[in-house]
Amino acid sequence: MEDNLKKDLIEQAEELGIDVDGRWSEETIQREIDEYLNSSEDQDKQDESQPDTYLNVSGRDHYMAGVRVKNGQKHTLTAADKKTEIFMGRLNRAVKLGMIKKV
């Protein structure tokens, strides 16, 4: 039963773009998820209505909100774009990895 819980937590964390260390306990994974969600909610409240512009620095084309953005190009996200949780999880992960920069 505990293995299923840990698998579910790992799956949820990875969907949010959190890199899970295999040594983490269930409590650690849950704490990371909670911290991510709390920081995302705070950020959403601050920036919900403001458009954000991102620069693709990945060395290849990257899709942002369904738009193909070539390396070196910028793309501005609307408030509607930012409400898509899966998309923002992927975008935040790309920012953390240094593939995209918020400008």
pTM of the model: 0.49
pLDDT tens-digit map of 53-89: 889 898 888 888 888 899 999 998 887 777 776 677 8
pLDDT of residue 24: 92
pLDDT of residue 2: 65
pLDDT of residue 44: 54
Region of residue 52 (phi > 0: left; psi between -120 and 50: alpha; otherwise: beta): beta
